[in-house]
Structure 1
Amino acid sequence: MAALLAGPAVAAEPIVLEGGAYEVEVKLELPHLDDIIGKKVVRLCLTPEANGNNHGIAVLSDNNPLARCPVSNVHQDGSELTSDIACEGKNSAHASARYLLAPTSFRGRIAMQMGGKNMTMTEVQSGRRTGTRDADKTPVL
């Protein structure tokens, strides 16, 4: 009854991710292969503007074709940022991404289907701001 009295659902104000240099821990989760989890740390520069993009957050695992594919259907509701990634062509790789943003950090999961290989995996990211882009001379990825 309380939900009916509350009125229509309203989208939450987007969290503004502070731009600058970020250090992102990246690991891959592969089904049935718990012992073989790749893990690395990547440094990149992110932007505070969401305006239809994903702040520069992308697939970061090594040798991943999705890292070069276009991002679409970007949507942010409060602290949640979602998007799709799809490579062109028949039997191509595709993914869906979901991030939880805070002003100076983020956590995310990218569920990937590797196309004709019928292989699935999830890239897990945990990023934190380490400084400004100018001060760190961090390249934009």
Structure 2
Amino acid sequence: MAEPVRLRPGAYAVEVRLDLPHLAEAGARKTLRLCLAGLPAAGFPVLSDNMPFAACRAADLRQDGDGVTFAIRCEGRAAPQGTADYRLTPDGFEGRLALRLGGKSMTLTERQTGRWQGDCAPGERPLP
């Protein structure tokens, strides 16, 4: 196993793009700010709006060098599921989350690109 890459603690500007199958230009885009203490113990969260993944948890988080993978598991029958694959640098990350909606054969892809911006603001709590 390769030595793990450590993310620099602080605030990250994260560009988020949600790709919808068969709709090349219809995906939603936004930029938001995350405060991180390093690699979140529960994996990176799904950041797109109106997604049924808010109550889901990360499982089987693994890091090998600059690569991080984990599964996204939701409770219930026909619940949504997903997988995540990230690449880390000390000052940023790029990730791809493949999100399969429960009871449907549709998979959405959320892409995240985070760049370190500096220290977190006073009172801003980092993701655990």
Instruction: Tell whether the structures are fold-level matches, with TM greater than 0.5.
Output: yes
Match of 1:3 in 2: none
Q: Distance in 2 between matches of 1:95 and 1:14?
A: 23
Instruction: Determine whether 1:14 maps to 2:4.
Output: yes
* Higher fraction of helix: 1
Task: Report sequence identity in percent.
Answer: 45
Query: Which of the pair has the greater relative contact order for Cα pairs under 8 Å at 6+ separation?
Result: 2
Deviation, 1:134, is 4.0
C-alpha RMSD over aligned residues: 1.7
Which has the higher mean CA deviation after the structures are superposed, 126-135 or 25-34? 126-135
Q: Which runs of 4+ in 1 moved over 4 A?
A: none
Match of 1:133 in 2: 120
Deviation, 1:70, is 0.7
User: Counterparts in 2 of 1:107-126, with a 5 A limit?
Assistant: 107-126=94-113
TM-score (norm 2): 0.91
1:66-93 Cα offsets, whole Å, 9 max, x none, are: 1321111000000000000011001000
For structure 2, the residue ranges without an aligned partner over 5 or more in a row are none
User: Counterparts in 2 of 1:1-141, with a 5 A limit?
Assistant: 11-48=1-38, 53-54=41-42, 57-134=44-121, 137-140=123-126
Q: Does the residue aligned with 2:53 lie in a helix, a strand or coil? A: helix
* Higher fraction of strand: 2
Shift in CA distance, 16/117, structure 1 to aligned 2, threshold 3 Å: same
Aligned length: 127
Q: Distance in 2 between matches of 1:138 and 1:22?
A: 12
Q: Does the residue aligned with 2:103 lie in a helix, a strand or coil? A: helix
Q: Does the residue aligned with 1:72 lie in a helix, a strand or coil? A: strand
1:53-73 Cα offsets, whole Å, 9 max, x none, are: 24x521100011113211110
TM-score (norm 1): 0.83
